[in-house]
Amino acid sequence: MNRPASFPLALAAVVLVTTAPAWRAGDRDAGSRSPAGTPFASLHLELEKSAPAAGEALSESPREIVLEFSQAPQMAGTSVRVVGPDGEPAQLPDARADDGDPTIVRLAIPAPLEGGEHEVRWRAMARDGHVVWDTFLFTIEAGAGQDSR
């Protein structure tokens, strides 16, 4: 069968047109910038849960930030930062994969964070090179930055 040279482009346009409504109509997953509702959304790495959880109010500083993903991220393309109430990133060690479960990323917090609202900024890279990122907030009650370490 002889197809015109523009056939691959036309085929790509048909695929985009038929999947675009699902892309636009799909909810955005609360944990990642991957659009949900697309036929391939389940193939992408997504944040499934975190500790502290988004919006959580803590009575003391956490000892670590824990992110659990739908698949093991490539640590070379994964980072986690915590930005304090003053807008400055906390000086923390690099995040690391959990020893027993590679879908879990841990960020140690060796010294207590100050009280107030903190923003966790994370970026993770899937095996296929797809990168997702997002942020979430948690609060440490004012004056409660010290913990019982």
Q: Which two tokens stand for residue 147?
A: 């913990």
CATH number of 42-140: 2.60.40.1220
Measure the CA–CA gap between 21 and 19, rounded to whole angstroms: 6
Overall pTM > 0.95: no
pLDDT tens digit string along 87-139?
A: 999 999 999 999 999 999 999 999 999 999 999 999 999 999 999 999 999 99
Rounded CA-CA distance 40/35 in Å is: 9
Helices (H) and strands (E) in the chain, counts: 1, 8
